[in-house]
């Protein structure tokens, strides 16, 4: 048993409710493992900050249904309680074209073209069914009273396979408002598991790609304390604790890895670069790599005695001036790559390898200068799952391999690569998204598409094989 926190739509307060639950549980010294449905990086940072345990993403597009079951079983059994935060609205998933796939590097199976039909693949409801978990529905009550019953009834009856354990009423304005909501819900006999009043003093700042990450919030401890105070009083813990209790599951949790790559990988991790799936980092370590975390913002040089570099996504545009002023590191990164250092750079990492980042105000900041293009910030959001077919052998995958990833950025490049890594299309329809990704020099992999390696160990294995070549030649930096 564990519990899924779902919303009737985006923006109803799922993350606030989830963090409130986690903060209150941790105040009680309870071990709790959290999970996040979908590809998001930032919400899991907050989960981890509260629980002290890495949050795990559950995304069947980026991995597979089997991987989600195995991942949940493996990590939920290591704690007393388990909690899953959903994505968007309960039934919001991928529609029109469903890809049934097994792994990144293998045949994905048949495409089922159900155009005109709606599916909730990769939705919170899908994950709830997959793991057989009950759902708590968070409802934003700020602009409704009696209509709350229609919403709750509709969500409970829409899919009989989903068990709605109860509701959390968020943004309740007054005692009279709460009384109207309770009276409306009473005929449904649906438990009210929590009531959160409008909280002007509990606000998590956001910006162009969502919440501001934890590393940039100096007042975060005080915020978590306020959430824990709220959680102690606003939930029906007598009903919630049995639902949250983690129990052993029967899914296979085997994760044998045969290869060993004794290499050192420099992983950029600071306020500018912090979008990493924990499973990706774990796989590198399980394969024998030593991860050396460092900061392109603060450090005077790249780490010594390394055989590879990994730049995740993040917000280099926010810290473009500081990155640019740390020119010795920019130069060191460029020198290492030109000497043959295998380097993976996703989204924000790709931007850092460009000649320049041009920020929202039109100011230009010099970057590492490995790629002959500039990243320009703009108002247009590029967002969605991608199906990408490799056009050539590259640092991570072989030609004609299909991978599934996710894009989420507000920048574009001034020049496109002459020999791109991938031809991309939307995951849920046949719309072609063009070619993208840089693989020249041949020892780099730079792409806007974020990949989760959990269902394809061939990807980190291929990366580490190239790093091992550097180690065997004695050319480590």
CA neighbor of 88 nearest in space, from 206, 141, 18, 9: 9
Query: How many angstroms separate the CA atoms of 79 and 58, rounded?
Result: 17
234 catalytic, yes or no? no
Annotated active-site residue in 71, 141, 234, 347: 347
Q: SS3 helix, strand, coil % of the chain, rounded to 5?
A: 30, 30, 40
Residue 126, C-beta contacts closer than 8 angstroms, at least 6 positions apart: 60, 93, 120
Q: How far apart are CA 343 and CA 310, in angstroms?
A: 6
Q: Cβ–Cβ contacts within 10 Å for residue 205, how many?
A: 10
The DSSP output letter for 303 is P
Contacts of residue 325, defined as CB under 8 A and 6 or more positions apart, other chains included, come to none
Three-class DSSP category at 444: strand
DSSP 8-state secondary structure symbol assigned to residue 370: -
Residue 102 has which token pair? 């097994």
Q: Which residues pair with 168 in a beta bridge?
A: 138, 194
* Cβ proximity of 124 and 37 under 8 Å: yes
Distance CA 380, CA 214 (A): 25
Token code pair at residue 3: 């519990």
Distance CA 425, CA 405 (A): 11
**Tokens for 290?**
């030593």
Q: What are phi and psi of 359, to 5 degrees?
A: -75, -175
Nearest to 299 by CA among 266, 276, 277: 266
My answer on whether omega of the bond before 107 falls inside 30° of 0, hence cis, is no
**Assigned token pair, 249:** 């599951």
CB 121 within 8 A of CB 72: no
CA-only gyration radius of the chain, Å = 23
Give every CB contact of residue 449 below 8 A, 6+ residues apart in sequence.
346, 347, 386, 388, 403, 405, 406, 407, 422, 424, 436, 437
Q: What is the rounded distance in angstroms from the CA atom of residue 390 to the CA atom of residue 72?
A: 30
Phi-psi region of 82 (alpha: psi -120 to 50; beta: other; left: phi over 0): beta
Known catalytic residues are 347
């Amino acid at each position: 048993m564990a519990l899924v926190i779902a919303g009737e739509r985006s923006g109803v307060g799922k993350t606030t409710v989830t963090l409130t639950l986690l903060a209150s549980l941790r105040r009680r010294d309870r071990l709790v493992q959290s999970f996040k449905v979908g590809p998001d990086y930032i919400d899991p940072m907050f989960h981890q900050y509260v629980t002290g345990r890495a949050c795990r993403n559950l995304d069947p597009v980026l991995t597979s249904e089997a991987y989600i079951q195995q991942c949940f079983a493996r990590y939920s059994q290591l704690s007393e309680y388990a909690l899953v935060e959903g994505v968007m609205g309960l039934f919001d998933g991928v529609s029109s074209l469903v890809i049934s796939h097994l792994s990144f590097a293998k045949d994905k199976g048949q495409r089922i073209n159900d155009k005109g039909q709606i599916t909730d693949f990769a939705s919170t409801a899908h994950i709830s069914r997959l793991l057989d978990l009950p759902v708590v529905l968070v409802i934003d009550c700020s602009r409704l009273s009696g209509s709350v019953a229609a919403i709750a009834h509709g969500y409970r009856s829409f899919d009989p396979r989903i068990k709605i354990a109860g509701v959390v009423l968020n943004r309740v304005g007054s005692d009279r408002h709460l009384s109207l909501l309770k009276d409306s819900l009473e005929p449904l006999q649906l438990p009210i598991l929590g009531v959160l009043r409008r909280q002007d003093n509990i606000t998590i700042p956001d910006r162009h790609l969502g919440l501001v990450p934890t590393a940039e919030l100096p007042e975060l401890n005080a915020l978590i304390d306020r959430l824990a105070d709220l959680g102690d009083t606003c939930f029906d813990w007598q009903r919630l604790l049995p639902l949250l209790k983690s129990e052993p599951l029967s899914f296979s949790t085997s994760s044998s890895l045969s290869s060993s790559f004794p290499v050192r990988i420099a992983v950029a991790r600071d306020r500018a670069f912090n979008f990493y799936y924990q499973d990706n980092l774990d796989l590198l370590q399980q394969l024998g790599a030593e991860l050396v975390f460092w900061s392109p913002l603060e450090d005077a040089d790249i780490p010594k005695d390394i055989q590879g570099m990994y730049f995740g996504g993040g917000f280099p545009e926010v810290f473009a001036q500081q990155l640019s002023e740390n020119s010795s590191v920019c130069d060191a990164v460029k020198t290492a790559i030109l000497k043959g250092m295998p380097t993976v750079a996703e989204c924000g990492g790709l931007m850092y390898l460009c000649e320049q980042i041009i920020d929202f105000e039109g100011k230009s900041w010099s970057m590492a200068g490995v790629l002959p293009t500039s990243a320009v910030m703009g108002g247009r959001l590029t967002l969605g799952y991608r199906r990408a077919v490799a056009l050539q052998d590259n640092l991570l995958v072989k030609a004609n391999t299909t991978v599934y990833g996710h894009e989420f950025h507000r920048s574009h490049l001034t020049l496109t690569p002459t020999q791109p890594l991938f031809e991309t299309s939307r995951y849920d329809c046949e719309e072609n998204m063009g070619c993208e990704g840089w693989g020249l020099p041949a020892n780099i992999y730079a792409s806007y598409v974020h990949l989760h390696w959990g269902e394809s160990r061939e990807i980190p294995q291929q990366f580490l094989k190239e790093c091992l070549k550097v180690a065997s030649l004695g050319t480590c930096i």
